Amino acid sequence: MERDDPGRVMQRSITTHPEKCTGCLRCALACSFRHTGMFNPMRARIHIRMDGPACDISFDDACTGCLACVGGCLYGALAAERQREGSA
Amino acid sequence: MSSKGFAGRTAIVDLGTGAVEVRRLDEREAERFGGGLGLCIALAARAIPGPHGALGQENAVVIGAGPFVGTDLPATSRVYAVSALPCSNSIGWCGAGGMTFGCGLKYAGFDHVVVKGASSRPVYLSIHDDGVDMLDASWLSGKGAGRTCEELKARHGAQAGVLAVGPAGERLVSFAMAYVDGVSTLGRGGLGAVMGSKNLKAVVAGGSRGIGVADPVLYRSLRDGLVERIRRYPYLASWQDLGLLSSLPVVPAEVYRRLRVRRLACVSCPLGDKDMLKIEGAAPGDIVCSSSAVNLFMPLVYGMTDPLDAARCIARLDELGMDMFEFFGIMRLAASLQEMGLISGDPVIDVSSPSSMLSWADKVVERDGVGDTLAGGFDRIVREFGEQALRCAPPTFRGMVTYVGPLSALPWTYFGTMELGQILDPRGPHVGASGSPTYFARRGLEVFPGHLARMGVPEQAVKRILQGREGAGRGLNVGRLLRYSHRWFTILGSLGVCARAQVNRFYSAGLLARLYEAVTGIPTDAEKLAERADRSWTLLALANAGAGRGLTPGEVPRAWYGGEGFRDYVDGTALSLEDIGGMIADYYDEQGWDPVTGRPSPARLQELGLAE
């Protein structure tokens, strides 16, 4: 599993901003529905961990970068980047 | 039907015997009542003998989540409970933002759980893929609602949802509530005490099952359009930033932003209207979560001056598991009784003093001295102190403070559906306008037809609503409007959609019907949704009317009418008791119920298939 730091651009072209995350899990729901046809964040390839004030957003190896999670996020915690490599 | 919106199972747990029965969802009942809140009411009507005896073993608690809960439709995490409640002696609904609990219940494979009987020792329920376990909770006894949630998540996994009571529930404080994930409140009127009477400390729910939809193509199309409209909503950013503070600015925005750690959201919510704040000394790590920052600062309306003190006070009440409106209303009355020399005890009762309130909160929960009387709520206080208590009590209805209106915590003047709803909902006073446009004061009448059409109100009824009181011409008939607000609220609750004005505005009755069909596969249109909601709400009224609890105008709080009372929503004229009585009769008439007793008429029961 990869950890993702604020502002880091991943190979999958998804920029994460954990400070904006509210824990709504819309990203994980969209992901699980896209890839399994069912809703359950446990079946998602993106993982949101809220631990007190800290929030961690991570992706597992099965992530294809389909951007379903980005489409689900309404808080700006996930964003698609055009370039596939580089810094935020 | 399994996994198409509905999880497909109902659990019936007898805490007295430890027996757990798992039943397949009754598909006919699901179709008749919609799901969620509606099915909670249907299950409760069978499981609960009547509105009295809330703390007896014969009472049951029905907890459930609707068919949209667990999907990614926006703001569809609502969880409901129905039970006989001790404050109002009524069978009432309780609703909360579900955080992860509602979804957890669904992902464990259950739509509803019916909890009967009482355990002889503290227990909690663990609801998971393979069923329901009744587990020892003695190690949680005396722990706060938030702390209990943390410890159960540590044991059962962070993705599990937790519904828990604090020490107030354990000690049967009549206005104790339950808490969802330590954030949302569930059960004004004493659901926490009901759980305490059953020795039920908490319910944990989570699992690996998935929730599917019947028509994925239609679902995606409808969902994407809905999400796009929300994304384009011009006030989305400000609501995500300030939430309820936008309309109830109890503290300046800069104070709030300075204390805010992050906004929190129930699963699938686009607004994130819950809050995590950093308040020194309020909790371990100084981190406090609340269903809204507005709640944390509410003691400012009772005279406290320091927002941090106010937040520390509410954080303590939340951890103890007590309803803040009821607690402060009772302490106001207790302060008067103390001034009159009728009660003693240290320290001096002062609702503007943080140290006084913190001290008395502990006395109430410990049931220490006069704290025992106060823990029994308004009815117990009036029984013990009689007329003198009645004379200085704040406006109450059926043993609970009416927190909106003259002489109340929120001294709003104009009489809309939230205000009238405090006495026309079987459960008694509660927060919420039932999705009605009157949530905001004195909106122009020109906005109403659009809102009412969205709520699925028939055209003829729209005319009656906009004829004003007694059909006098242009105006707003709040009684007739409330009838359709209750229907709209029941539709939303039965599906699992949040009724907050800032969220339900994106939904219409027609869209909900199409979504219901896409999710569950049950053929549906707006009229069918309305009929199911009417069936549910009428059944709730019937369950309460059986004990002769029809509302009479004489029960309307005295402060509500006359010179300093409520004012007409449109023209601002002072309302008389006759005016309010007319609205009550109009509400009943629009429901097809007896306009005097409020009892559902035989003809209406026949129409709704409830005659048996």
Q: What is the CATH number of the domain that holds A16?
A: 3.30.70.20
Are the Cβ atoms of B70 and A40 closer than 8 angstroms?
Answer: yes
Neighbour count for residue B46 (Cβ, 10 Å): 12
Residues 6+ apart with CB under 8 A from B367: B171, B173, B375
Assess if residue A14 is contained within a domain. yes
* SS3 at position A10: coil
Partner residue opposite A40 with nearest CB, options B210, B274, B287: B210
Q: Is the pTM of this model over 0.90?
A: yes
Q: Does A76 touch chain B (CB under 8 A)?
A: no
Helix residue ranges per DSSP H, B425-466: 448-454, 459-466
On the question of pLDDT at B439 being above 50, the answer is yes
Residue of chain B whose Cα is closest to the Cα of A24: B267
C-alpha of B288 from chain center: 21
Residue B435: per-residue pLDDT: 73
Say whether B269 and A30 touch across the interface (CB within 8 A): no
- The minimal CB distance from B267 to the residues A25, A71, A74 is found for A25
| Stretch B287-306: mean pLDDT | 96
What burial class does residue B594 get, using C-beta atoms within 10 Å of its C-beta: 0-12 exposed, 13-18 middle, 19+ buried?
middle
Within-domain flag for A85: no
At B139-166, the pLDDT tens digits run 999 999 999 999 999 999 999 999 999 9
Would the CB atoms of B278 and A53 count as touching at under 8 Å? Answer: yes
**In order of start, what are the domains of chain B with their CATH numbers?**
9-205 (3.60.9.10), 237-320 (no CATH), 324-393 (no CATH), 414-607 (1.10.599.10)
The tokens of B319 are what?
A: 């951890």
Tokens standing for residue B311? 């937040």
Q: How confident is the model at residue B309 (pLDDT cuts 50, 70, 90)?
A: very high
What digits encode the pLDDT tens for the residues B447-505? 999 999 999 999 999 999 998 776 566 789 999 999 999 999 999 999 999 998 889 99
3-class DSSP state of A49: strand
Contact B63, B32 (CB under 8 A): no
Alpha-carbon Rg for chain B in angstroms = 23
Hey, is the C-beta of A46 within 8 angstroms of any chain B C-beta? no
**DSSP bridge pairs for B176:** B322
* Cα separation values, B157 from B64, B73, B304, Å: 21, 25, 39
B588 has pLDDT over 60: yes
Q: Can you say how many angstroms the Cα of residue B521 is from the centroid of all Cα atoms in its chain?
A: 29
Hey, are the CB atoms on A32 and B278 less than 8 Å from each other? no
Q: Whole-angstrom Cα distance, residue B194 to residue B413? A: 34
pLDDT (0 to 100) of residue A3: 41
How confident is the prediction for chain B on average, in pLDDT? 94
**Is the four-CA dihedral B590, B594, B599, B601 of positive or negative sign?**
negative
Q: Residue B546 has what pLDDT?
A: 65
Please give the residue range of the domain that contains residue A59: 2-80
Residue contact B72–A52, C-beta within 8 A: no
pLDDT band, very low/low/confident/very high, at B183 (cuts 50, 70, 90): very high
By CA distance, what is A55's nearest residue in B?
B262
Residues 6+ away with beta carbon under 8 Å from B200: B15, B61, B115, B119, B123, B124, B125, B165
User: Is the confidence at residue A10, as pLDDT, over 70?
Assistant: no
Please tell me the predicted confidence (pLDDT) of residue B553: 75
Measured between beta carbons, the chain A residues lying within 8 angstroms of B276 are 53
Q: Does A40 touch chain B (CB under 8 A)?
A: yes
Closest CA to B438 of B471, B414, B406: B414
Write out pLDDT tens, residues B102-124: 999 999 999 999 999 999 999 99
Judge whether A21 is closer than 8 Å to chain B, CB to CB.
yes
User: Which pLDDT tens digit goes with each residue over B228-286?
Assistant: 999 999 999 999 999 989 888 999 999 999 999 999 999 999 999 999 999 999 998 99
Q: Does a structural domain hold residue A22? A: yes
| pLDDT value for B358 | 98
Model confidence at B438, in pLDDT bands (50, 70, 90)?
confident
Q: For testing the chain B interface, which of A22, A47, A48, A67 should be mutated: the one with the most B CBs within 10 Å?
A: A22
pLDDT higher at B98 or B243: B243
Question: What six digits make up the tokens of B556?
Answer: 């309307």
Structure tokens given for B612:
């048996």
- The count of other CB atoms within 10 Å of the CB of residue B414 is 19
| A86, part of any domain | no
Euclidean distance between CA atoms A34 and A85, whole angstroms: 25
Within a domain: residue A87? no
Taking CB atoms and an 8 Å limit, are A33 and B72 in contact across chains? yes
Task: Compute CA B572 distance to the chain's CA centroid, rounded to the nearest angstrom.
Answer: 29
pLDDT digits (tens, 9 = 90+) for B515-562: 999 999 999 999 999 999 999 999 999 999 865 556 777 789 999 999
* CA distance to partner chain A, nearest, from residue B265 (Å): 5
Residue ranges in B354-445 assigned as alpha helix (H): 354-366, 370-375, 377-392, 417-424
Examine the pLDDT at B126 and tell me if it is beyond 90: yes
In a domain, A88, yes or no: no
Per-residue pLDDT at B383 = 94
Residue-level length of chain A: 88
- Burial of B31 from C-beta contacts in 10 A (0-12 / 13-18 / 19+): middle
pLDDT single digits (tens) B69-78 = 999 999 999 9
CB contact under 8 A, B261 and A37: no
**Total domain count, chain A:** 1
| Owner of token pair 């007190």 | A52
Q: How many residues does chain B have?
A: 612
Higher pLDDT, A82 or B454: B454
Q: Give the rounded percent of residues in chain B with a pLDDT score beyond 90.
A: 87
pLDDT band at B411 (very low <50, low <70, confident <90, very high): confident
pLDDT higher than 60, residue A11: no
Of B240, B261, B268, the CB nearest to A26: B268
pLDDT band at A85 (very low <50, low <70, confident <90, very high): very low
Nearest CA to CA, how far is B285 from chain A (Å)?
Answer: 9
Percent of chain B residues topping a pLDDT of 70: 97
Nearest to B41 by CA among B496, B542, B425, B540: B540
